[in-house]
Amino acid sequence: MEYIFSDRLKELSGNSIREIFKLVSSSDFISFAGGLPATECLPIKLVERFSAELLGSDRAAALLQYGATEGNPQLRRLMTQYVKRAGIKGVRMENVLIISGGQQGIDLAMKAFVNEGDAILVENPTYLASLHIAKTYRANPIGVNSFEDGIDLDDLERKIKEYRPKLLYIVPNFQNPTGKTLSLEKRRKVAEITARYGLMVIEDDPYRELRYSGQPLPAIKSFDEAGNVIYVTSFSKVISPGLRVGAAIAQEKVIYKLTIGKQAEDVHTNSLAQAIVEKFISDDTLDKWIESCVPVYRAKRDIMARALKEYMPKSFKFSVPEGGLFIWGQFDKRSGIDAAGSFRRAIENKVAYVSGNDFFSDGSGRDCVRLNFSNASHEKLAEGVKRLAQVFSQK
């Protein structure tokens, strides 16, 4: 059979991280590729207890029935309070859509605002799935430069004027892939500039609670007076990615359109999973859980950073992020190291990373790597970095 795929998907190849997943099942393989939370930070016992309580309660039948596309009312109500921790105030239930993970929030926002051929702005580099989603809507992602403290505001304004984009996609905390955090002043300015030009913003914030040092900062959404920011949060990294629960916070009119888009995708988010999340956030259970996970992640980050310093070639430079799950590094151009070209050799050496070019809208970044530190054991973190160092010292 010769399949005639849609124009939307025919030129798209699989997301490279999902492809790597298929290669790394053997136990002696060390993967720094995915963004998996630590296994020890999956709250198995709590989820087991909450599931039993819910299924033994008078809500059981409702939780196994179809539910509202907008989400369980109990969780929507709790989310109006939950987002206050990001400085987002005045949120009513009508401003909340429960989504099947943050990724669906990006998808629904692009579905609602992007037409074929529209330019959209992303940080350069950016979360690779945002590029993938943009391409499924046949949008044209344009990279905006970024500095250590986040997006370059002059470049942002220049590109708004030049490309007349529909929206900006931005990750403010411990960005994936670079680990960078957008400064307070820039958060205020991003809200102001985008409002001035009538540009929608997808503020994607799955890592906010995974902070290992420094002070938490208010979301861009907290400075949103025009109603142009769609704030997307997720419980994947702090409870479990398998539950698939997140939330989008926006103006009621925007939530209404996202809801229509979601009806066509998956009807509603898993009701039982939503109710489990309710249990986590209706008191301080989640906060205590996160408090117990932060030292686990901090230790892993520090072990990887020490090993990188010790074993990697001198041409490799990296910065230690204040939170999140990734260390981003770059080889000196003069080293001639090509991370994309070295990938096969790394796989033969039983170690995986993601090459930088997957995160750049223009395919540059072959001299960069993204390394996930959250999922490997302490021993594997050190051993995996040694393997990487072997791969890159052969070039």
Ligand X SMILES: Cc1ncc(COP(=O)(O)O)c(C=O)c1O
Min. distance of Cβ 210 from ligand X in angstroms? 11
Q: Which stretch binds ligand X (CB under 6 A): 25-33, 96-104, 356-364, 373-381?
A: 96-104
C-beta of 35: minimal distance to ligand X in Å? 4
Based on the shown chain and the rule CB under 6 A, indicate whether residue 365 belongs to the binding site for ligand X: no
Q: Is 354 in the site for ligand X (CB under 6 A)?
A: no
The span from the CA of 390 to the CA of 395, in Å, is 9
Q: How far is the CB of 323 from ligand X (least distance, A)?
A: 12
**Which part of the chain contacts ligand X (CB under 6 A), choosing from 79-87, 101-109, 217-225, 386-394?**
101-109
Tracing tokens 């993204």 back to the chain, one arrives at 370
Contacts with ligand X in 237-276 (CB under 6 A)?
Answer: 241, 246
Q: Does 374 bind ligand X (CB under 6 A)?
A: no
Work out which of 204, 209, 322, 367 binds ligand X, going by CB under 6 A: 204
Among 69, 95, 103, 330, binds ligand X (CB under 6 A): 103
Q: Is the Cβ–Cβ distance between 342 and 392 less than 8 Å?
A: yes
Size of the site for ligand X (CB under 6 A): 13
Cα separation, 7 vs 181, whole angstroms:
36
User: Does residue 173 belong to the site contacting ligand X (CB under 6 A)?
Assistant: no
Helix crossing, 102-113 with 252-266: angle to 10°? 110
**Taking CB under 6 A as the rule, does residue 127 contact ligand X?**
yes
171 counts as binding ligand X under rule CB under 6 A: yes
Q: Is 234 in the site for ligand X (CB under 6 A)?
A: yes
Pairing of strands 119-123, 140-144: parallel
Instruction: Closer to ligand X by CB, 70 or 204: give it.
Output: 204
Residues 1-60 that bind ligand X (CB under 6 A): 35
Nearer to ligand X, 273 or 391 (CB): 273
Dihedral sign, CA of 125, 154, 206, 325? Answer: positive
| 155, 144 contact by CB (below 8 A) | yes
Pick the closer one to ligand X by CB: 222 or 374: 374
Is residue 236 a contact point for ligand X (CB under 6 A)? yes
Of 176 and 271, nearer to ligand X (C-beta) is 176
CB 294 to ligand X: min, Å: 18
The minimum distance between CB 206 and ligand X, in angstroms, equals: 5
Distance CA 25, CA 31 (A): 9
What token pair was written down for 108? 């629904």
Backbone angles phi, psi at 178, to 5 degrees: -85, -15
CA distance 268 to 97: 10
Figure out which of the listed residues 43, 143, 150, 206 binds ligand X, where binding follows CB under 6 A: 206
Interface with ligand X, residue 172, by CB under 6 A = no
- What are the residues binding ligand X (CB under 6 A)? 35, 101-103, 127, 171, 176, 204, 206, 234, 236, 241, 246
